[in-house]
Amino acid sequence: MTDTRADEGAERTVLITGAAGGLGRSFALGFAGRGYRVAVADIDTDGVAETARLIRHAGADAWHGRVDVTSASSTEELAVAASEFGHGRIDVLVNNAAVYGAVTRAPLEEIDPAEWDLVMGVNLKGPWLMVRAVSPYLPGTGRVVNLSSATVYSGSENWLHYVASKGGVIALTRVMAKELGRRGITVNAIAPGFTLTEASKGLMENAEAYGVDRGALRRASQPEDIVGAALYLAGADSSYVTGQTLVVDGGRQFI
């Protein structure tokens, strides 16, 4: 049977940050499979170049660049370049860039203030700066998808700065939805559960079994499990959905 969704992104451009690997690369390939032009960016230039190569290999148009999402000038330069790739517009922004695997787990009294600032800078300031930079290029049918985390709802111990940053993404999403909604643009968030990326596997031994016994679906989450939520929030079927956070964790938590 032919997949009628294969060209749903025709003539639409998506910009994905944090796309050098992990979820970002999976998002990029998922959007490519739906016919989008895919612009990918990361601070890791080699990794994001490989993502672009894989997109082209899949038969989609790709552009890649470097971005430091904590820098206003860097995000603005990225927005200009990506909009040129998108013929003057960016239809979808996926704010995926984050500090995650390198975050130190420690009691709140032991968190290094410098690491706190780094986590907040990338995970919370970053999405704001990206939307600020991309906003002029978002059409009235534009979509913003922010990445939060289901750990916000479980309140994972010894991870205060990461959890707080991802909780802030939910708050940021709600305010952005109201402000950009006046132009017809939707802003939503995805809160994935523990997902088997390379970064996640590096956090612990036997990561494949972590939390599986707590889910309604008794299997580990793969990056591809999160892609469908992003495609939905970027597409026409979610045109009246905004300011929401979609938890994708296999039923480990019900919000």
Structure tokens at 107: 């009691």
- Rounded-to-integer distance, Cα 182 and Cα 49, Å: 36
Bridge pairing between strands 62-66 and 92-95: unpaired
Give yes or no: 232 in active site.
no
Collapsing DSSP to helix, strand or coil, 10 comes out as coil
The CB-side HSE value for 214 (13 A sphere, CA atoms) comes to 11
CB contact at 8 A, 25 and 38: no
Contact 97, 149 (CB under 8 A): no
Catalytic, out of 100, 137, 162, 210 = 162
Catalytic residues: 162
